[in-house]
Amino acid sequence: MKIDTIEQSYAKQLADLISAESQLGATLIKFAGIATDERLKLAFEDQLEQTIGQRERLGKLLAKMNGAFQQQTCAVMHSLIEEGDAIISDGGDAQVVDAGLIAAMQRVKHYEIAAYGLAIESARMLGREDDLPLLEQSLGEEKGASILLTRIANDGNLASAAEPVVATLTMGRSALATPPLPAPRSAPR
């Protein structure tokens, strides 16, 4: 479908985000099952719940858009998930795999932060002020998830275990407000 208006572009962005959140669900379940760091496991489980809520919010917003772009496949998320799968199949010891999972999910979170940020700007341009609280709630969750992953990487010394991207993402962490780590579910191994 050809896009002629900002409104159509906005509807496409929302549909793309729904696709992204939908694709991510299975990956988060898989990552939570593979992660050995208990805090990382919990973080992925929490993100799965957030993803379900984010998808519902997007559905509400798209329902107000006269049915435009109901079906959309987010190719970026598809590629990011493929990259995550490649990290898993590369294997390695537990610390390296956990660091790889964090790196893969940080890429996802940064994509989502950018996508929600753009959707918010589009909503503002269209004067759709009523849409902003839901989009900003999701953007806040994505930012919080990214910060938490950074903390887990640093606290578990995972930043030095694998990819440079983890180390890069942890630089400048002191400038960010960091949410508390989730309490471990069981005693540390």
96: tokens are: 């390296």
Instruction: Verify binding: residue 112, Fe ion, rule CB under 5 A.
Output: yes
Instruction: Verify binding: residue 23, Fe ion, rule CB under 5 A.
Output: no
Q: Compute the distance between CA of residue 113 and CA of residue 182 in angstroms, rounded to an integer.
A: 22
Closest to Fe ion by CB, 69 or 116: 116
Q: Which residue is it, tokens 């960091």?
A: 178
Shortest distance in whole angstroms from residue 126 CB to Fe ion: 22
Instruction: Verify binding: residue 54, Fe ion, rule CB under 5 A.
Output: yes
Instruction: Verify binding: residue 45, Fe ion, rule CB under 5 A.
Output: no
Closest to Fe ion by CB, 11 or 80: 80
Contact 147, 177 (CB under 8 A): yes
152: tokens are: 């887990």
Q: Compute the distance between CA of residue 71 and CA of residue 16 in angstroms, rounded to an integer.
A: 8
Q: Which residue is it, tokens 């942890």?
A: 170
Q: Which residues are within 8 A (CB) of 115 and not within 5 positions of it... i.e. 6 or more apart?
A: 13, 16, 17, 20
Closest to Fe ion by CB, 20 or 169: 20
Instruction: Verify binding: residue 98, Fe ion, rule CB under 5 A.
Output: no
Shortest distance in whole angstroms from residue 135 CB to Fe ion: 12
Q: Which stretch binds Fe ion (CB under 5 A): 91-99, 109-117, 165-173, 176-184?
A: 109-117
Residues that bind Fe ion (CB under 5 A): 21, 51, 54, 112
